[in-house]
Amino acid sequence: SSATVERDEKLQERIAKHPCYSEDAHHHYARMHVAVAPACNIQCNYCNRKYDCANESRPGVVSELLTPEQAAHKALVIGGKIPQMTVVGIAGPGDPLANPEKTFRTFELIAEQAPDIKLCLSTNGLMLPDYIDRIKQLNIDHVTITINMVDPEIGAKIYPWVHYRRKRYKGIEGARILHERQMEGLQALKDADILCKVNSVMIPGINDHHLVEVNRVIREKGAFLHNIMPLISAPEHGTHFGLTGQRGPTPKELKEVQDNCSGNMKMMRHCRQCRADAVGLLGEDRSQEFSKEKFLEMTPEYDM
Ligand code: SF4
Ligand code: SF4
């Protein structure tokens, strides 16, 4: 029907300008992250809280934390200086939805002052079902959920605990809550017509064989793109897995899993795991150019 055609065209347009969603767009459009969300509500074994959330970023990076006002100012300054800047995302350094006041205030300010910028959010999904209305209201049209398992028994090996509604749940009990909330969130995004990408961290010996099943489930639930990222094992990361630490996959192992999952779904292979305060085209990092000290001195240029 013509309604379907129109919907598809709209979808194409939404994808085409987002550097993380389209391999082609990532050469032409830039994104920036603002680091406004320090807290997290779960523990991933591969996380080191001294650094950015490892669900979307490279290990070993410490981003400069901003207030919502500073973040909006930064978005305006950079929007004025980098014309290809189409997307502002919040991806950490903790979980954006574990810091809902800061996260949504930031989005609100940016939407008021720069309505053309697309807003994007990356989360572990635990609190996602609670905020769907807010996300829709603010026109946030891209959400990334990190889903590493659809089986709580495997989840228990990845997540030692989950903090949910004022209570801490350990092991399989916590993993089950996280799993149920992620599935609920995924469904709610689909119902609200919000584009959803799923990130999975590939952890050899833990969830590597399981990711094909993860892929099947998220595809069925309407995720639009799947990004399987290698666990990057750095000395400061992943040691929670055991005394000897946890290795990451080889490029060959990663490609094998990506190939096994591809079916008729788009796999994202151009991801470079950017930091919570990344600025620029994917793979390019101009965050130092716009360090907190520097951008706070810059006056926004409104002739975007
Ligand atoms: Fe959005 Fe993730 Fe891309 Fe950042 S890296 S702009 S949060 S999809
Ligand atoms: Fe760390 Fe991110 Fe996991 Fe939270 S969701 S524990 S910040 S990797």
26-80 pLDDT per residue, tens: 677 788 889 999 999 999 988 877 777 777 776 667 778 999 999 999 998 888 8
| Ligand 2 atom closest to residue 98's alpha carbon, by position in its atom list | 4
> Cα–Cα distances in Å, from 265 out to 202, 224, 260, 270?
18, 8, 11, 15
Alpha helices in the chain (DSSP H): 2-16, 68-81, 100-113, 128-137, 152-158, 171-191, 211-220, 251-262, 292-297
Nearest CA to ligand 1 atom 6: 89
Q: Which ligand is nearest to the CA of 160?
A: 2
Q: What is the CA radius of gyration of the chain?
A: 18
Residue of 45, 47, 240 with the most ligand 2 atoms within 8 Å of its CB, for mutation: 47
Q: pLDDT at position 224, please?
A: 86
Q: What is the DSSP letter of 37?
A: B
Q: Are 24 and 16 in contact (CB under 8 A)?
A: yes
Ligand 1 atom with the smallest distance to the CA of 88 is: 6
pTM above 0.95?
no
**In Å, what is the CA distance from 36 to each residue of 74, 101, 114, 207, 233?**
12, 10, 18, 30, 26
CATH of 2-280, one of 3.20.20.70, 3.40.50.1820, 3.40.640.10, 3.30.300.30: 3.20.20.70
Taking the CA of 53 as reference, the closest ligand is: 2
Ligand 1 close to Cβ of residue 87 (< 6 A): yes
For residue 170, what are its two tokens?
């350990």
Q: Which residues have CB under 8 Å from 252's CB, separation 6+?
A: none
Output the pLDDT for position 303.
44
CB burial readout 160-185, b (16+ within 10 A) else e: ebbbbeeeebebbebbbbbbebbbbb
Which two structure tokens, joined as six digits, stand for 110? 């940016």
pLDDT < 70 stretches in the chain:
1, 3-5, 7, 16, 21-26, 58-60, 234-245, 262-266, 269-276, 282-284, 299-304
Take atom 2 of ligand 1 and give the residue whose Cα is closest. 122
The answer to whether the CB of 52 is under 6 A from ligand 2 is no
Q: CA–CA separation, 108 vs 37, rounded Å?
A: 15
* pLDDT of res. 286: 77
Q: Does the CB atom of residue 124 touch ligand 2 within 6 A?
A: yes
- Say what the ipTM of the complex is: 0.88
CB atoms within 10 A of CB 1: 6
As beta bridge partners, residue 37 has: 93
